[in-house]
Amino acid sequence: MPQSLSKIVGHISNLDRKQLESLIRKSVMNEQFLDSILNSMMEAIIAVDENGTVLFANSGVYDFSGISSKDLLDKPLINNIRDAALKEILQKTDLKSFYTFEVKVKYPRLLSLVVQTIPIQKEMAVSSGNIKLTCLILIRDATYECTQNTTKARETRLETMRLLTAGVAHEIGNPLGAIILHTQLMDRIFKRMADTPEMDELKQINHVINEESARLKRIVADFLNAVRPLSTKFEFTDITNVFDETFLLLNEELKNKNITLIKDFYDVPKTMLDADQLRSVIINIVRNATDAMNNGGELTVSLNNKGNWIEITFSDTGNGIDETLLKRIFDPFFTTKTNGSGLGLLIVQRIINSHNGTVKVDSVTDEGTTITIELPVRSVSGKKSLPLPKQI
């Protein structure tokens, strides 16, 4: 028993009733004050004994475990951790040593946590019979920090690409335009000349040069669109009209590739957005889908009203994307197509993010791909009109 506590106990017999009541009242108030402080903290604080049994847990533990502090008391901590990743790390951790580690959990929701174990020195340990306070476990939500770090890393990569933009436009764009112009001039000359086997071969070579130059020009254009700052012009827009107009432009292209377009449109509210940028999103996604359906197929496009959010889905019956490649589909220059630039989905993501929306891709090999976009409904372009963030 600590010396200061021994002195207090030794004087209890000399106290009268009022003094004893005052001492007890102060003790209770101090304990309540301490509990109030600990329970108001955002971090989870857990105290365990040498056997891993929970001696104390503040209310913050519920946010990270889905279990109330009362349900944890006097029970082995490991037995009550429901997330497999967190449980595995705590099982391997020596509670008699200082540790700090990060872990991503799925229960009770997707979170990135920082967990610290702080062993209590023997001279500071609180003893009660054979039970000793051995370790404090602190758990902090670092999800926002991890998201910010990922965003900063992405912006750093984009900034590097932006620095190359001017050089690419000058060094490749101008000569490329000259090549295309001269292949067109050569084609006119060839048409005036007599047909011979040699001339047919020259025409074919000139056609290949023209086609590949045009493809390279599209890649340069995609590159510039992917890296230059977006200038978004928000206007109060009917999304359904934008889709109908864009599909009129793509109608012949879909027919030529034997693609059946299924429009599953529900009434959705008007919202502030950049119609030209939305058309670019639609065209990029539809062309990706048609490229994945070499032998024809179905493309189903849906518009759904989700209250403060508009849900847009594109589902194709194409080749699908292997699960191991899905996490790379928004990376610059990554593509599964032979002639793709690997910038289409990056452009889509940048446009949707600039509208404070989200884009998600799900795919099953040999079954097809579904791209889901969620756009906020707002009456003005300012941040104040944005709805609350979607729950994870």
Parallel/antiparallel/unpaired status of strands 309-316 and 368-376: antiparallel
Residue at 128 is within a domain: yes
Residue at 30 is within a domain: no
- pTM summary value: 0.49
Confidence of residue 345 (pLDDT cuts 50, 70, 90): confident
Which residue from 359, 283, 289, 360 is spatially nearest to 320, judged by alpha carbons? Answer: 289
What are the structure tokens assigned to 331, written together?
């990376």
321 and 357 housed in the same domain: yes
Confidence of residue 127 (pLDDT cuts 50, 70, 90): very low
Please tell me the total count of domains within the chain: 3
What is the domain extent for residue 100?
A: 41-141
274 and 364 housed in the same domain: yes
Give buried/exposed letters for 290-304 (b at 16+ CB in 10 A, else e).
bbbbeeebebbbbbb
Residue at 3 is within a domain: no
Please check whether residue 346 is in contact with residue 333, taking contact to mean a CB–CB distance below 8 angstroms: no
Residue at 183 is within a domain: yes
280 and 376 housed in the same domain: yes
Mean pLDDT for all residues in the chain: 80
The residue to which tokens 């004050």 are assigned: 33
Coil, helix or strand at residue 355: coil
221 and 251 housed in the same domain: no
Amino acid in position 191: K
Would residue 297 be called left, alpha or beta, if left means φ above 0 and alpha means ψ between -120 and 50 degrees? left
Q: What 8-state DSSP symbol labels residue 97?
A: S
State yes or no: pLDDT of 300 exceeds 90: yes
d(CA 317, CA 298): 6
In the listed set 203, 229, 255, which residue is the last one of a domain according to the structure? 229
d(CA 87, CA 84): 5
Q: What is the pLDDT of residues 92-124, one digit of tens each?
A: 888 788 888 888 888 878 888 888 888 876 544
State yes or no: pLDDT of 327 exceeds 90: no
Residue at 385 is within a domain: yes
* 260 CB-near residues (< 8 Å, 6+ apart): 254, 296, 297, 298, 299
Select the highest-mean-pLDDT range: 30-34, 94-98, 149-153, 379-383: 94-98
Which CATH number covers residue 270?
Answer: 3.30.565.10
